[in-house]
Amino acid sequence: MSNDILFSVQNGIGIIQLNRPQALNALTHDMCIPLEQTLRKWATDAAVKAVIIKGSGEKAFCAGGDIRKLADRGPEGVQYRKSFWYDEYRCNTLIGEYPKPFIALIDGIFMGGGVGLSVHGSHRIISEFAHFAMPETGIGLFPDVGGTYFLPRCPGELGVYLGLTGARLKGADILTAGVATHFVPRTSMATLEQALIDTAPGDKASIDAVVAKFTADPGPSQLAERKAEIDRRFGGDSVAAVMTALETDPSPFSIEQAGIIRAKSPTSVKLTFAQLRRGRSLSLRDCMKLEWRICNHVALGHDFYEGVRAVIIDKDHKPKWQPARLEDVTDAEIEKYFTPVADGELQFD
């Protein structure tokens, strides 16, 4: 088994440690396979009362998937994408449906795939160094790993705002969005983990009682102060309506957000909006099945590879999107992303 992900059981608590600190604990397919296998084993093991997941190092919980590898257009890249997304989405679903408390200790960056390993669990505990984002529209992708499910369930229109703009949050703002459940300072994180191991609580209430001893006030939330404005601007029934609301409002915030969205992949923006509206009424499993369809269609297009080139490989930050304008992306084109794919549906055991 790879040392990139480590597993142990201490006093009835299963411990998962993402162990690629040099790569900000980015998730690979080789990590997904043992993760799913171990979680399934622990789910039926009476000796395991709860699960903790954490990252190595002080910089990141998990900065996402290995995007460079996912964007390889060669034959190996094609197979890697399919295998990675398939098994990653199964892990996301397993965490969301887990029969035991699942506790994420998030002390650093968590974006994309890192969000998928934490947000679906029962307890998402952040420190002041936690940084959250779902930045996929900026690389021609879409907020996956269950974004279809959890973003529409953020308060008001915060999920649409986060999905379209890729806004980065920290501290109290992550709590306001509902992405995290508790705030614990970095200086108390290790002590909290040891307290959980020592007491081995097996139910949510008992874990809450332990965590409560370590929680602190994260301070004011700028996102909470902006929420009413975000709800007004991002509550339209189409991307066009959202853009009109933003571009006809003279406030600096609206002007800035309109510019941010205009710089993203137009296809990704419209796809994300449609995805999140559909997700409001779907179960987690159905959301993950939908994302499996979407990612396979995205892999056949242009913008994902162009976005990765511009942002991650060449770093010129000048992507040439196709189409280049929101107004040129039709609803009919977006609908194609939700249709079944040749490889069949995402399956669950």
Q: Which of 102, 27, 87, 96 is nearest to 285 (CA)?
A: 96
Residue 343: inside a domain, yes or no? Answer: no
Q: Which residues contact 300 (CB under 8 A, 6 or more apart)?
A: none
Q: Do 35 and 5 touch, CB atoms closer than 8 A?
A: yes
The gap from C-alpha 162 to its chain's centroid, in whole angstroms, comes to: 11
Q: Using CA atoms, how far apart are residues 121 and 102, in angstroms rounded to an integer? A: 5
Q: Do 93 and 58 touch, CB atoms closer than 8 A?
A: no
113 among known catalytic residues? yes
Q: Using CA atoms, how far apart are residues 35 and 175, in angstroms rounded to an integer? A: 27
Residue 76: inside a domain, yes or no? Answer: yes
- Look up the domain containing 272 and give its range: 5-338
pLDDT at 73: 84
Residue 346: inside a domain, yes or no? Answer: no
Residue 181: inside a domain, yes or no? Answer: yes
pLDDT at 91: 99
235 among known catalytic residues? no
Residue 345: inside a domain, yes or no? Answer: no
| Segment-wise mean pLDDT, segments of 10 residues, the chain, 349 residues | 90 98 97 98 98 98 94 88 97 98 98 98 98 98 99 99 99 99 98 97 92 98 98 98 98 98 99 99 98 97 97 97 98 98 92
pLDDT at 201: 86
Q: Which of 164, 137, 169, 170 is nearest to 151 (CA)?
A: 164
Note the helical H segments in 183-236: 186-199, 204-212, 222-234
pLDDT at 79: 92
Helix (H) or strand (E) holding 78: helix 75-96
58 among known catalytic residues? no
CA atoms within 13 A on the CB side of 112: 20
Q: Which of 55, 64, 96, 113 is catalytic?
A: 113
Q: Which of 145, 140, 122 is nearest to 132 (CA)?
A: 145
Q: Which of 14, 55, 64, 65 is catalytic?
A: 65
Q: What is the total residue count of the chain?
A: 349
Residue 295: inside a domain, yes or no? Answer: yes
pTM, entire model: 0.96
Query: 323 preceded by cis ω (within 30°)?
Result: yes
Residue 347: inside a domain, yes or no? Answer: no
Residue 348: inside a domain, yes or no? Answer: no
pLDDT at 119: 99
Q: Using CA atoms, how far apart are residues 179 and 172, in angstroms rounded to an integer? A: 10
Q: Which residues contact 277 (CB under 8 A, 6 or more apart)?
A: 152
pLDDT at 74: 85
Number of domains the chain contains:
1
Q: Which of 4, 36, 66, 144 is catalytic?
A: 144
Q: At 24, which CATH number?
A: 3.90.226.10
Q: Which of 4, 66, 136, 173 is catalytic?
A: 136
pLDDT at 213: 98
291 among known catalytic residues? no
Q: Which residues contact 307 (CB under 8 A, 6 or more apart)?
A: 138, 139, 140, 141, 265, 268, 319, 321
